[in-house]
């Protein structure tokens, strides 16, 4: 009896080992990739941000561990302004994109006319235009004496009355909105498509107006999906470089741009790393929020 049992157990264990080995092999490439290109750099950046470089009278550098970089980030007017500016840009762009995308998604979901159909075809266009191209297009389009200014001046707008958009926060926001709109609209559209007609019809049946249906049925049912979109876009704008680099003002700067300047122009990798950690932390807030929403949803 015992012999039979063990004879059976041996091949079973071997089979189990083989499938486990296959599992490890499948995970290995991505694990190596993540370790080399994500985990190690993140840890290095963290370590660098806690490294303080002192220069003595003889001009020699000494290194120690300390919080000086963070103190500088908090107290330096320029750096603090950069952090606030970054959050401001991210929140503003996300809010504007969310509202516009939601309106378009509602039109696509509930609209029936040819306008809705046309809208459904063209809103996707910016998705296929690289951000560098879009940024330069925005510059020629919105600059003072640019395309729009030119047209307005032809209609009598005095020279110099056109607001400063390019090389200003407005330029970043407009371009980010333009670039992120398709993604957010696609996402919200699919979220709204998931709400079945009968849920809306049953609300009408008990007497709800269009506004009441939106407020009590459509909005709460689309909220979980919408928050995913908001989180991802927030992350994208917080860490963005191309758009603020090409369209942003010289001061304040978004953290992505400022970080590169500190790294390459001012040769301050320690402050640059500290700013990287700041971006990371801001992203973390969004990520934690996202995970908590997902968790709540699963409990439901």
Partner 1 sequence: MAEVELRHVTKGYKDTTAVDDVSLAIKDREFVALLGPSGCGKTTTLRMLAGFIRPDAGQILIDGRGVTDLPPEHRPTAMVFQSYALWPHMTVADNIAFGLRLRRLPQAEVADRTARMLDVVGLPGVTKRYPSQLSGGQQQRVALARALVLGPKILLLDEPLSNLDAKLRVRMRDEIRRIQQELQITTVYVTHDQEEALTMADRIAVMNRGVLQQVGDALDIYDRPATAFVADFIGSSNLLTGTLRLAGARPVAQVGDARIPVEADGLADGAAVTVSARPEDMEVLREAAPDAFRLDDTRLVNFGAYKRLLGRHPAFGQLEARVPKAFRLGDEPVYLRFTRARAFAGDERPRG
**Alpha helix (H) ranges present in 111-218?**
114-122, 131-142, 147-154, 169-193, 197-205, 210-213
Which residue in this structure is represented by tokens 């004879």? 7
Give, as ranges, the residues between 14 and 33 that touch partner 1 (CB under 8 A): none
- Name the segment binding partner 1 (CB under 8 A); options: 98-106, 179-187, 195-203, 252-260: 195-203
User: In this structure, what are the phi and psi dihedrals at residue 196, rounded to the nearest 5 degrees?
Assistant: -75, 150
* Contact between 199 and partner 1 per CB under 8 A: yes
Selected range binding partner 1 among 76-84, 118-126, 192-200, 273-281, rule: CB under 8 A: 192-200
Which lies closer to partner 1 via its Cβ, residue 8 or residue 297?
297
Q: What is the CA radius of gyration of the chain?
A: 26
Closest to partner 1 by CB, 57 or 205? 205
> Least distance (Å) from partner 1 to the CB of residue 199?
5
Compare residues 150 and 220 and give the one whose CB is closer to partner 1.
220
d(CA 165, CA 147): 13
Nearer to partner 1, 18 or 216 (CB): 216
CB burial class (10 A; 0-12, 13-18, 19+) of residue 116?
middle
164, 146 Cβ separation under 8 angstroms: no
Residue 112 within binding range of partner 1, rule CB under 8 A: no
**Given candidates 125, 152, 201, 296, which one binds partner 1 under the rule CB under 8 A?**
201
Binding positions for partner 1, 213-272, rule CB under 8 A: 216-217, 220-221
Cβ closer to partner 1: 100 or 221?
Answer: 221
- Residue in 89, 134, 142, 203 binding partner 1, rule: CB under 8 A: 203
- What's the CA angle centered on 289, arms 284 and 291, to 5 degrees? 95
Is 204 among the residues that bind partner 1 (CB under 8 A)? yes
Beta bridge partners of 62: 54
> Cβ closer to partner 1: 76 or 196?
196
Give yes or no for residue 209 binding partner 1 (CB under 8 A).
Answer: yes
Tokens standing for residue 17: 């080992």
Among 56, 57, 205, 298, binds partner 1 (CB under 8 A): 205
Axis crossing angle, helix 219-238 with helix 77-110, rounded to the nearest 10 = 140
Stretch that binds partner 1, among 68-76, 208-216, 244-252, 268-276 (CB under 8 A): 208-216
Task: Give the separation between CA 202 and CA 208, rounded to whole angstroms.
Answer: 9
Question: Nearest approach, Cβ of 178 to partner 1 (angstroms)?
Answer: 33
CA distances from 254 to 12, 130, 237 (A): 58, 20, 10
C-alpha span between 165 and 144 (Å, rounded): 8
**Contacting residue, 12, 14, 55, 300, with partner 1 by CB under 8 A:** 300
Contact between 228 and 286 (Cβ < 8 Å):
no
Distance CA 149, CA 214 (A): 39
Size of the residue set binding partner 1 (CB under 8 A): 18
> Which residues of the shown chain bind partner 1 in the complex (CB under 8 A)?
196, 198-199, 201-209, 212, 216-217, 220-221, 300
């Amino acid at each position: 009896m015992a012999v039979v049992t063990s004879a059976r157990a041996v091949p079973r264990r071997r089979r189990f080992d083989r499938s486990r080995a296959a599992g490890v092999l499948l995970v290995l490439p991505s694990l190596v990739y993540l370790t080399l290109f994500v985990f190690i750099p993140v840890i290095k950046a963290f370590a660098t941000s806690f490294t303080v470089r002192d220069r003595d009278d003889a001009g020699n550098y000494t290194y120690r561990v300390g919080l000086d970089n963070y103190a500088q980030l908090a107290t330096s007017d320029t750096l603090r302004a950069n952090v606030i500016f970054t959050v401001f840009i991210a929140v503003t762009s996300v809010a504007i994109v969310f509202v516009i995308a939601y309106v378009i998604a509602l039109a696509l979901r509930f609209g029936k006319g040819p306008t809705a159909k046309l809208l459904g075809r063209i809103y996707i266009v910016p998705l296929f235009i690289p951000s560098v191209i879009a940024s330069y297009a925005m510059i020629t389009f919105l600059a003072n004496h640019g395309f729009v200014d030119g047209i307005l001046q032809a209609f009598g707008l005095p020279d110099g009355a056109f607001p400063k958009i390019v090389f200003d926060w407005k330029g970043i926001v407009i371009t980010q909105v333009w670039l992120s709109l398709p993604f957010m609209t696609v996402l919200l559209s699919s979220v709204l498509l998931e709400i079945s007609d009968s849920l809306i019809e049953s609300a009408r049946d008990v007497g709800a107006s269009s506004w009441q249906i939106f407020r009590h049925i459509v909005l709460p049912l689309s909220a979980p999906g919408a928050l995913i979109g908001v989180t991802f876009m927030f992350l994208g704008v917080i860490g963005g470089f191309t758009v603020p680099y090409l369209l942003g003002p010289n001061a304040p700067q978004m953290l992505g741009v400022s970080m590169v300047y500190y790294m390459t122009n001012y040769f301050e990798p320690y402050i640059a790393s500290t700013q990287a950690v700041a971006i990371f932390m801001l992203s973390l807030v969004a990520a934690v929020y996202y995970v908590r929403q997902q968790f709540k949803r699963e409990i439901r």
